[in-house]
């Protein structure tokens, strides 16, 4: 879990938050939205978690269709916030 560090005393632990949209065979056969629509739904959750649960630990974030989300803006804001604490 990203909330609990395996090495809490490490000087620079790296935590990666990754979200990818991978449709199943049923998703493709039943045409359950486009990849972009599904990625948008996933990216909303990633953005929300980045603002809350992953706020203090995540320092690497990767998502699909990042232009359709606020992940970049939130990441920049969190980086500025962390730099002000130094």
Domain residue ranges of the chain, discontinuous segments joined by +: 16-84
Is residue 6 scored above 60 in pLDDT?
no
Please list, residue by residue across 36-48, b when 16 or more beta carbons sit within 10 angstroms of its beta carbon and e when fewer do: eebbbebbeebbe
Predicted pLDDT of residue 58? 82
71-83 pLDDT per residue, tens: 889 989 988 998 8
**Residue 72 to residue 62: CA distance in whole angstroms:** 10
Per DSSP, the three-state class of 75 is: helix
pTM score > 0.85 for this model? no
8-54 pLDDT per residue, tens: 566 667 788 777 777 778 877 777 777 777 777 777 888 888 899 88
Q: In which band, very low, low, confident or very high, does the pLDDT at 64 lie, cut at 50, 70 and 90?
A: confident
């Amino acid at each position: 879990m990203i909330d609990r560090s395996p090495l809490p005393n490490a000087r620079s632990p790296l935590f990666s938050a990754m979200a990818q949209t991978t449709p199943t065979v049923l998703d493709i056969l039943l045409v359950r939205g486009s990849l972009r629509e599904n990625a948008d739904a996933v990216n909303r959750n990633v953005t929300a978690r980045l603002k809350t649960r992953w706020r203090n630990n995540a320092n690497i974030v990767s998502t699909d269709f990042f232009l359709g989300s606020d992940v970049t803006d939130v990441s920049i804001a969190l980086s500025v916030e962390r730099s002000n604490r130094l």
